[in-house]
Amino acid sequence: MSSLRFISAEEISGVLKYDDLIPTIEMALKDYSEGKGSKMVQPDKTLIDVEEHNGFCLVMPCYSQPNQIIATKLVTVFPDNVEIPSHDAAIVLFDSTNGKLISIMDGVYITAMRTAAVSAVATKFLGPLQPETLAILGAGVQAKSHYKALTTLFSFKKVKVWSRKRSSAEKLSSEINAEACDTVEEAVLDADVIVTVTSAMEPILKAEWVKKGAHINAVGACKPNWQELDPVLMQSSRVYVEDIDMAKKGSGDIILSKAEIYAEIGEVIQGTKDGLRCQTTVFKSLGMAIEDSVSAKLVYQKIFN
Ligand code: NDP
């Protein structure tokens, strides 16, 4: 008899907490940079463009020996959706000791939380030690999850939100007790930590607005021809990524600015590369299957162990 279980977003939200997820993600990023290609196998993502609807689908497979899992996330991104969310996703999880399919689960909730947890880890290793002001550019799903993950690790005195629509910034600000701003410049003024979580295809954040020594988690612009950050900002900052090859192939912010990548965040966690907190740092996030798979395994263990 099959013991396969579908795990819904509601069940995941009941068991997945940042206190457990952030250390799990930190370990996974370190293990990934150490064990790439042998203990951690993560083939390139497959991107299927659906140009007529300005959408795309990503197929993200991986094998993690330390976690004894094989997993694939299927995620669609349709930024123009109005009535329904812009992202949808499912994660398929297999036991790597015997190849058995153990679960299919909602991938939307995990995508929101694991992406924010990755940014929280990057901020811990790259950002100012006692950040006081957080600026969030964008007011959607990732904006909210980033607020929750970052405030799990840091006590900000001030949080500012900008979004393309003033109403979106106001709505989020009222939910998280933040200040809604009219312009990006106003939001990032004096910010120690900046999060860019928009569906922008052109740069929205300029170098001259950013305080020296700030840390930026650049989370949107997950395609080779999309940008969120001004190329001058990319060029003048220390740039960190999850995986160097993936970033060189997949990030418009890196490809179009020709910015040099300093290190993978996993190398900084290992201690083989510096975090350089005194300089302005950019963590260019693209999302990795390994992040989804360790999060999915954590959910599975919480529910069944
Ligand atoms: P949502 O659809 O929930 O929110 C999108 C936000 O972007 C809204 O605040 C919207 O503003 C704003 N926006 C939309 N179009 C534009 C534009 N052309 N210029 C500026 N702002 C715009 O998306 P999510 O929060 O789920 O995702 C945010 C970004 O993060 C996306 O690019 C997504 O693909 C990316 N992402 C990255 C991941 C990673 O691992 N790196 C993982 C998951 C998502 P308004 O409401 O004011 O119109």
26 CA from centroid of ligand 1 (Å): 24
Same domain, 138 and 234: yes
- One domain, residues 243 and 100: no
Looking at the structure, tell me whether residues 174 and 40 fall in a common domain: no
286 lines ligand 1 (CB under 6 A): yes
pLDDT for position 2: 60
> From ligand 1's centre to the CA of 78, what distance in Å?
10
Question: In whole angstroms, how far apart are CA 96 and each of 59, 70, 221?
Answer: 19, 6, 32
| Model confidence pLDDT, tens digit, residues 178-198 | 999 999 999 999 999 999 999
Are residue 213 and residue 133 in the same domain, yes or no? Answer: yes
What local confidence, expressed as pLDDT, does residue 4 receive?
78
User: Hey, whose CA ends up nearest to atom 36 of ligand 1?
Assistant: 220
Q: From ligand 1's centre to the CA of 270, what distance in Å?
A: 31
CATH number at residue 9: 3.30.1780.10
Alpha helices in 38-140 (DSSP H): 108-126
Helical H runs in 154-288? 166-176, 184-188, 231-236, 244-250, 252-255, 265-270
For the segment 260-301, what is each residue's pLDDT rounded down to a tens digit? 999 999 999 999 999 888 899 999 999 999 999 999 999 999
* pTM passes above 0.85: yes
61 located within any domain = yes
Amino acid sitting at position 139 = A
Mean of the pLDDT values across residues 124-134?
97
- Mean pLDDT rounded to a whole number for the chain: 96
Q: Is residue 116 situated within a structural domain? A: no
Is residue 287 within 6 Å of ligand 1 at its C-beta?
Answer: yes
Q: Is residue 115 included in any domain, yes or no? A: no
User: Do the domain assignments include residue 300?
Assistant: yes
| 3 state DSSP class of 107 | coil
130 lies in the same domain as 258: yes
Distance 210 CA to ligand 1 centre (A): 21
pLDDT at position 1 over 60: no
Report CA(226)–ligand 1 centroid distance (Å): 12
Number of structural domains (the chain) is 2
Query: Which residue, judged by its Cα, is nearest atom 6 of ligand 1?
Result: 198
> What is the CATH classification number for the domain harbouring 250?
3.40.50.720
Longest distance between any two alpha carbons in the chain, whole Å: 62
Look at residue 86 and tell me if it is in a domain.
Answer: yes
Residue range 93-113, pLDDT digits in tens: 999 999 999 999 999 999 999
Domain of residue 259 covers 122-287
